[in-house]
Amino acid sequence: MSNPFLKQVFNKDKTFRPKRKFEPGTQRFELHKRAQASLNAGLDLRLAVQLPPGEDLHDWVAVHVVDFFNRINLVYGTVSDGCTEQTCPVMSGGPKYEYRWQDEREFRKPTALPAPKYMDLLMDWIEVQINNEDLFPTNVGTPFPKNFLQVVKKILSRLFRVFVHVYIHHFDRIAQMGSEAHVNTCYKHFYYFVKEFSLIDTKELEPLKEMTARMCH
């Protein structure tokens, strides 16, 4: 967060949602602090994402999903004023990739939507998931549901689409703001994490394959 522009954006709170926080004193809060300390110490991101010895995989994944939700919100917040129904009438990642929205409520069939509308629905949907105690229990000792990793895979593959849209359609804006290094670090952290625990299908990662090969290998 050393970039003054990002501080300014963050202070204006252009992110969509209030940040989900971990309660101090809980095991998850300690894990969150440990994950942040690794990042702040400049540890190799490939190592930083690995499950610490003796820790529960579900707890580690839950902490990161919430953190990625907050960070990617911020990344999209930096370009959201340039992402309108006029500039981005379809949620896409270049001419080859179009993302349609589907949920259990209003959009039961995959529906083409302008990017900002898609982002809004996406962030609302994720927020509901991570605030659902049955899915993301906050009390240590309360077991995670059997379908937890399945839900996480859906959340993370949809969050990846935010990176796709931002990199392919709004990268000039990020570069213009001097936010490139911050966004790239955020992306690398996300990419190494999903690869470490096989949380996104390889075909979903295709749109940024070339960029990822340059940046992460």
- Residues forming the annotated binding site for Zn(2+)? 83, 88, 165, 170
Annotated binding-site residues read: 83, 88, 165, 170
Structure tokens at 45: 């991101």
Maximum Cα interatomic distance, the chain, rounded to a whole number of Å: 50
97 C-beta neighbours (distance < 10 Å), count: 16
In sequence order, what are the residues at sequence separation of 6 or more whose Cβ sits closer than 8 angstroms to the Cβ of residue 207?
93, 94, 96, 97, 164, 168
**What does each C-alpha distance from 207 to 40, 95, 192 come to in angstroms?**
29, 10, 16
8 A C-beta contact, residue 3 and residue 47: no
Q: Going by C-beta distance under 8 Å and a sequence separation of 6 or more, which residues neighbour residue 134?
A: 145
